[in-house]
Structure 1
């Protein structure tokens, strides 16, 4: 079996993190000679199209013009095709402007795929992808940290001022708690500016770091007692996995895909409204008996095994 894997291998965030980790896992495995990698921004050419004749499966991570064309061409040539679904452009269009041609690319890829691999059951359900589905979550690079000294009054938020992250709701709840209980809970905010940015940064307890090096984010997680992912929708959330690595208490909305793989406890609370969010923050702020967060998350090697098994059965 030979696979052509089209993805984003330029270091960044989101899908590129996934693709780089899958590629590195493959290079360390006995599958290294069976998988060829192609950057998704590569221009279409005759030499690129010829690659189809030497492979059995075209796998596309995410949505791209190159991925769509190679999946379509592979099916015309009697080859198999699969795709990793990191999110849904149709769903994302509810929160931000998505170019119509990208939604078209996504639709064609889904039609061409023999198998679609969403990163969570939640994504498969919300995107209404009922056929040809096998859920393969993102992997986690587990780390062993020594005892970390936490600041009880520090919370980290990742996702900036984008409305769908609902960080404005979180900050409104924190202000209410600070005023009601005379506390001084502080927030470190990371990520791009968005519709809610100005209102969020008006809160005196918020420090907005914007985009910055991941080491700065990890330093904040290592100091923060609580990490909150109160998104309106999150197909998976690698940020939650990072927060687990750095031994944070975690509060997530009920629309975060990684919830499927984590056991609920006082250390991992799912809140589906602002009242429950307030209760969760107060509980975790006061909690001194932290339990380890039990989870069924996979290593990148285990994720690779699932990909390979899927490709072999196409």
Structure 2
């Protein structure tokens, strides 16, 4: 079975990194895009689709509609690996985009199968797009265990440093973390909150707290330093289809506190109630659970329960190929 994987794998975004990991472990004859000029890419899609047995779309793009329509013409089965929902996320972040919504909905309509990147996200998709519920499944993101490294030289951990990523994006609900940390400091703690990520609607409010350090967008190495120098990583998103950052933090020996909306929970089998924020708007709950982690960390317990074999990208690629074969056989 020859797969044509249509998607970005070079930009360094979360979806692009997932696509790159899959390409690294899928069969060597897997077809991929080699050109990024719009015109030449169009001809590449038209040409390579003819050679493929199945089309796999990874991530949102305008080119998806072209690829899927051409696949329909050629009677090639298709699968859409969905990393996020731009319609819902843009709405949460206060930047709705009607054109992006139309492209995403058309991608969903044209795809024979839709795979969310976590079980939680797949269940959400069935509710949000009930017309497509019968073709929604999931392929949980893998973990790149080969990238586990020793702590960067000269980096010391500050147990009083809390870290969160997502910058000023409202869906990350970092303002609520700020409020919780502020309450803890009012009670005698001396905590700092490091925030990494691009600016957004909440940036000004986040920066107004005296204990916050806004690092902005950081590269991989700088993020490793932050993970290794922080005591607790908090992801308080109201919507997070997967989220690699909590796993990266955990692998750097950070304690982690995640909202129940974070899809990465699906790979953390050792999770307990005190590790999860049930209500991402509840400042008191966030405050209490940060305080528990300050007293009794969870990274050792969670790491011990992580199964390297079943969470590897090799395992995910094998699972993906099984799903694609089933789609192909059903289409025949």
Query: How does the TM-score come out when normalised to structure 1?
Result: 0.91
Q: Distance in 2 between matches of 1:4 and 1:49?
A: 11
Compared with structure 1, are the counterparts of its residues 134 and 105 closer, same or farther at alpha carbon in structure 2 (3 Å cutoff)? same
**Superimposed CA distance per residue, residues 34-53 of structure 1 (whole angstroms, 9 cap, x where no aligned partner):** x1111695525445313222
- Tell me the secondary structure at the aligned position of residue 134 of structure 1: strand
Q: Is the 8 A contact 1:72 1:109 kept in 2?
A: no
1:251 counterpart = 2:264: no
5+ long unaligned stretches in structure 2: 127-131, 328-332
Partner deviation per Cα, 1:8-62 (whole Å, 9 max, x = no partner): 1223221111111111222xxxx112x1111695525445313222111111111
Aligned: 1:136 with 2:139:
yes
Task: Call closer, same or farther: CA 1:268–1:40 in 2, change over 3 Å.
Answer: farther
Q: Counterpart of 1:8?
A: 8
Task: Provide the rounded CA distance (Å) in 2 between the counterparts of 1:90 and 1:203.
Answer: 31
Q: Which moved more, 1:134-143 or 1:99-108?
A: 99-108
Structure 1 residue ranges without an equivalent (≥5)? none
Match of 2:112 among 107, 111, 114: 114
Looking at structure 2, the residues matched to 58 and 92 of structure 1 have their Cα atoms a distance apart, in angstroms, of 26
Which among 212, 216, 223 is matched to residue 217 of structure 1?
Answer: 223
Distance 1:150 1:284, change over 3 A: same
Match of 1:313 in 2: 326
- The match for 1:202 is 208
Contact 2:33 2:45 (8 Å CA) reproduced: no
Give the one of 269, 290, 305 matched to 1:281: 290
Equivalent residues in 2 for 1:153-302 (5 A)?
Answer: 153-180=160-187, 182-262=188-268, 263-265=270-272, 268-272=275-279, 273-287=282-296, 291-293=300-302, 294-295=305-306, 298-302=311-315
Please give the secondary structure, in 1, of the residue aligned with 2:32. strand
Label 1:226 to 1:77 Cα distance change in 2 as closer, same or farther (>3 A): same
Specify the alignment match of 2:48 in structure 1. Answer: 51
Runs of 4 or more above 4 Å deviation: 39-42, 146-149
C-alpha contact 1:171 1:203 (8 A) present in aligned 2: yes
Q: CA RMSD in A?
A: 2.2
The answer on whether the counterparts of 1:226 and 1:248 sit within 8 Å (CA) in structure 2 is yes
Please give the alpha-carbon distance, in whole angstroms, between the structure 2 residues aligned to 1:13 and 1:191. 12
Q: In the TM superposition, what whole-angstrom CA distance separates every residue of 1:63-117 from its partner, at most 9, and x where no partner exists?
A: 2222211111111211111110101122113223243222222222212212111
Cα deviation for residue 133 of structure 1 reads: 2.2
Q: 1:252 to 1:57 in 2, by over 3 A?
A: same
TM-score by length of 2: 0.86
Q: 2:100 aligns to what SS in structure 1?
A: helix
* Alpha-carbon shift at residue 146 of structure 1 (Å): 6.5
Distance in structure 2 (CA, Å) of the matches to 1:106 and 1:47: 22
Cα offset, 1:211, TM superposition? 0.7
1:245-265 Cα deviation digits (max 9, x unpaired):
111111111111112222323
Aligned residues: 308
Residue 84 (1) aligns with residue 87 (2): no
Which is helix-richer, 1 or 2?
2
Given that residues 55 and 77 in structure 2 are in contact (C-alpha distance below 8 angstroms), is that contact kept between their aligned partners in structure 1?
yes
